[in-house]
Chains A and B, each alone.
Chain A
Amino acid sequence: RKEVEQDPGPFNVPEGATVAFNCTYSNSASQSFFWYRQDCRKEPKLLMSVYSSGNEDGRFTAQLNRASQYISLLIRDSKLSDSATYLCVLYTNAGKSTFGDGTTLTVKP
């Protein structure tokens, strides 16, 4: 079983749509959780940190469920500029990071 499993995608949605991504993880020692976005041939950039209490940043909402070992990302009112690959990332206290395979989102006019 992979350490991090993401929705395989791709997701193709119209502008204004709401889209949700899920990510499950197997290492219960994981300490920090993040969603990064990666544009084609660019470096990953932080989108949001993910907490058990849930957090929201504008159109983006992230949630962590430690008991079920999954994290989610919800994007409301999708924009063309949201088109990217979304990466689920976990860190352990030992300094090791694990990335998911990524879920590609294409928002179409």
Chain B
Amino acid sequence: EPEVTQTPSHQVTQMGQEVILRCVPISNHLYFYWYRQILGQKVEFLVSFYNNEISEKSEIFDDQFSVERPDGSNFTLKIRSTKLEDSAMYFCAGNTQSLDEQFFGPGTRLTVL
């Protein structure tokens, strides 16, 4: 059964550094999403992406965040200048229709020191 994969599984970085989190969605998915989950808190929507454009983004997704899908396979989330409060688990997800169930990757744990 196809799966969403994410790399790295754990990323440790210094405050102010740029990080890129990578996701390989399931091949027939058309809609892509990033979420974050701070330890002990709820899953929070960051952004949805379709047809190489952002469809919707939350208040969390400010100018420090960007997404792209440059080669038709990898879907990346970039955080330009990380803050301590960016420490969280970041999940990538995808689906074939925007209202269908989403399939989640295993997540990348980001630790900002």
Q: Interface on A for B, CB 8 Å cutoff?
A: 31-32, 34, 38, 41-46, 49, 87, 91, 93-102
CA distance A94 to B106 in the complex (A): 25
Q: Scoring B residues 36 to 54 as 1 if CB is less than 8 Å from chain A, else 0, what string do you get?
A: 0000001111001010000
Within the complex, the shortest CB–CB distance from B108 to chain A, in Å, comes to 11
Within the complex, the shortest CB–CB distance from B102 to chain A, in Å, comes to 7
Task: List 19 A–B pairs whose Cβ atoms lie within 8 Å, in order of A's numbering.
Answer: A34-B101, A38-B43, A41-B89, A42-B107, A43-B105, A43-B107, A44-B91, A45-B104, A49-B101, A87-B43, A93-B98, A95-B31, A95-B48, A95-B56, A95-B98, A96-B58, A97-B35, A99-B35, A99-B43
Task: Give the most central of A49, A93, A95, A96: most B CB within 10 Å.
Answer: A95
Q: Which secondary structure dominates where chain B touches chain A?
A: strand
Q: Scoring B residues 84 to 113 as 1 if CB is less than 8 Å from chain A, else 0, what string do you get?
A: 000001010000001111111111000000
Which residues in B have their C-beta under 8 angstroms from that of A96? 45, 48, 56, 58
Which residues in A have their C-beta under 8 angstroms from that of B31? 95
Contact partner of A32 among B35, B99, B106, CB < 8 A?
B99
Report yes or no: B44 in contact with A99, Cβ–Cβ below 8 A: yes
CA distance A41 to B91 in the complex (A): 11
B residues 54-88 in Cβ contact with A at 8 Å = 55-56, 58
Contact partner of A95 among B35, B43, B50, CB < 8 A?
B50
CA distance A25 to B94 in the complex (A): 23
Report yes or no: B98 in contact with A46, Cβ–Cβ below 8 A: no
Report yes or no: A43 in contact with B56, Cβ–Cβ below 8 A: no
Report yes or no: B42 in contact with A95, Cβ–Cβ below 8 A: no
Q: Which residue on B lies nearest to A97, using beta carbons? A: B45
